[in-house]
Amino acid sequence: MLAWFKRYRLTILALFLLLLLPLAVIFIKGFFTVQAFDIGRPMQAAVIFDREGMFIGSLGETGRYVPLDAIPQDLLDAVVAVEDSRFYKHAGVDIIGIARALFANLRACETVQGGSTITQQVAKNLFLHPRRTLKRKFEELALAVLLEARFSKEQILELYLNSSYFGEGAYGVESAARTYFGKSVSNLSLGESTLLAGLLQAPSAYSPYKHPERALNRRRVVLDRMVALGYLEQEQAEQADSTTLILAELTGGPARYFLDWVSQILIEKFGETAVFSEGLRVHTSLDLEMQEIAETVFGSQEHQGALVALDPRDGTVLALIGGRNYRESQFNRAVDAKRQPGSVFKPIIYAAAIKQGWQVNSIVEDIPREYSGYEPENYEEAYWGPVTMKHAIALSLNNAAVWTLNEIGISSAFNFARDVGIELAPQDRNLALALGGLTEGVSPMQMTAAFVPFANGGAYFTPSPILRVINRDGDVLFDFEPDKNQVLSPQQAYLMTDTLQAVMEYGTGKSVPIDRPSAGKSGTTNNHRDLWFAGFTPDLVVGVFIGNDDNSPIAGYGGSIAGPIWAELINQSLADKPPRPFPLPSLIVDDVQIDIFTGLLANDQCEYTELDAFIKGTEPTRQAPCAITFTPQPKVGIPIPELPPAQEQPPIEEPEPEPEPEPEPEEPKPEPEPEPKPKPKEPKQEPEPEPEPELEPEPEPEVPREPKPPETPLPPLEPEPREPVPSPEPIEPGQRQQPPPPA
């Protein structure tokens, strides 16, 4: 072994130096970075503009840099106790702390402790990108050692408190004190100081505005740690823990939920230091005028909820409401809430079917069935039997949706949902998916974005609120590029638009007061906990969710509660634009009159019809039975005179035969059979027209294979005597014959 080492010692040394070379580069780069840094430099928060360059606001209050002697000793002790108890004993990197954290994490089989020191966090806050990589970790270690070499412990702690993010847009300890307590940091009490110290680990998770119980529990942890390290007596800690938490009222202002979301995205991309101290100029997609309309329309809402408005051309966010009142609650329901979508999810199922080649006149079965113990029910148990897919969507027929999902396969629906930005849990692989019964639910942002492909010709875009980011030197740090995924062809997307227009014309959205061509879908979950309306015009896609945080029921339906908010936003936002129809793609045949029960061509003789769009070549060519006219055959030939009623036509008399020999006993030659007495020609009953070779109803268009029959055969349902009630809004006949109104 020794001989081998001597033989290859130069090679080993070269490899060792090669490994050290990257570290040397990191140290050299870090040295110049630290040398160029000045304590107390001015901080400038990011400034946010709308899509037209109008000022919206800045991200948080820009606090001034405060020296260590202006910060209460209780706050300094609390931060050291909970963040880095060996701060005064290590040289920037704590080997003992790293080993202790590694052991604790291995024992818990998860990350429960961090090994970073306060000095490492200063290096990360001031100089490094937030992305977690091995290279960044080495840079952090090198910079920590270099910071300790240049600055004292007091200066490093001062830097830490002035460069850390405390949540709610507060960057630096002075800004945090004013944001949470409305006072300068020098006036904080022990209870207030320990609450701020507890925020440093996870500002959003421990926000006293959003999670007051978590914040108080975290404060208790800080106080206990201070007692354990000798910074406090037990009685002092108990007294501080019992103090009532009195918070400053958060300021309002336009688009606060939107600004919070933008802040979150910017921090993930550029880090807290860049966002809150380096004077970024951020141009967003927000339409400030539309945002103000949304806040006015939604502000009078009695219940909690959210609203999202998107540009169908690229998926950018035009308006966002995360709750009815930002001061009351800062939880952003538009982005972070996961709620059950109910029937507003049904278009995802039908779009997956259209992607497989189904047409809007494909026959779906709205019949009560059992699927391995699962028995969906329609609203008020009203069933239509076999009807077109378009009719099933318009009236939101539950059994038809479940039957369709069973036919196309759950994987098809899963794949399409993923294509439009909705990640479903494995537990959602069941037929309840057709009715929006999800394990985790969806956010209003996700549900609204899923409708964008129907409005723009089949392209899904990941929603984005940021168009461009520029630093204080004018360098462009970020330029928006649409994240596009073509999930449907333009023709398939138009078929979905055609079906969702029927919702507005005579279906569950008929009562929604929209004054321009539109398409949409309502949704109402069990017990009326979640009410939805999502839809679009050629210029705008909007989703509205109404639902209380405690899941208490709401009197009404998606169409009656969320629908009017949806319509009012569109009506006001597009008031200066003339209404326009949805553009018709090539290869589309529009306004074909179809019988809803067979999916075949109809005319005015048919009682229930709809006007459908088709991809050219897929429209039906045969008529529905209701459209076939049985006319009597015209009388042709020589007219037969009418005979006296009592007189029958006498038999034709033969002339007297001449006497002849007795004929052989053979059957006498029969008299010529008199032509049957023409009965008085009954007014010719309409003769059954000869079947032209029998007009079999065309195989019902695009009907997939017969599903597995229910366990008990069901009698055929006759649609005509029934007058079912759609779910849940009433349906009235339009100008042309439409389905009967509900009972």
**Active-site residue list:** 83, 343
CB of 211 closer than 8 Å to CB of 205 = yes
The set of residues, in sequence order, having a beta carbon less than 8 Å from that of 504 and lying 6+ positions away, is 510, 512, 514, 518, 519, 520, 535
The set of residues, in sequence order, having a beta carbon less than 8 Å from that of 114 and lying 6+ positions away, is 101
For 466, how many CA atoms within 13 A lie in the half-sphere containing its CB? 23
Q: Which of 120, 420, 77, 98 is nearest to 240 (CA)?
A: 77
- Angle of helix 410-419 versus helix 398-408 axis, rounded to 10: 100
Q: Quick count: other Cβ atoms within 10 Å of Cβ 86?
A: 13
- Concatenated DSSP letters of 207-261: -TTT-HHHHHHHHHHHHHHHHHTTSS-HHHHHHHHHS---PPPPP--TTHHHHHH
SS (H, E, C) 345-394: HHHHHHHHHHHCCCCCCCEEEECCCCECCECCCCHHHCCCEEEEHHHHHH
d(CA 508, CA 522): 7
- Concatenated DSSP letters of 559-614: IIIIHHHHHHHHHHHTTTS---PPPPPTTEEEEEEEETTT-SB--TTSSSEEEEEE
d(CA 203, CA 186): 21
The set of residues, in sequence order, having a beta carbon less than 8 Å from that of 615 and lying 6+ positions away, is 359, 491, 492, 495, 587, 588, 589
Q: Structure tokens of 593?
A: 């009159």
d(CA 113, CA 127): 23
d(CA 490, CA 519): 16
CB of 460 closer than 8 Å to CB of 550 = no
d(CA 654, CA 652): 6
d(CA 303, CA 339): 15
Q: Tell me the C-alpha to C-alpha distance, in Å, between residue 200 and each of 159, 160, 211, 218, 241.
A: 14, 10, 15, 11, 18
Q: Which residues pair with 374 in a beta bridge?
A: 371
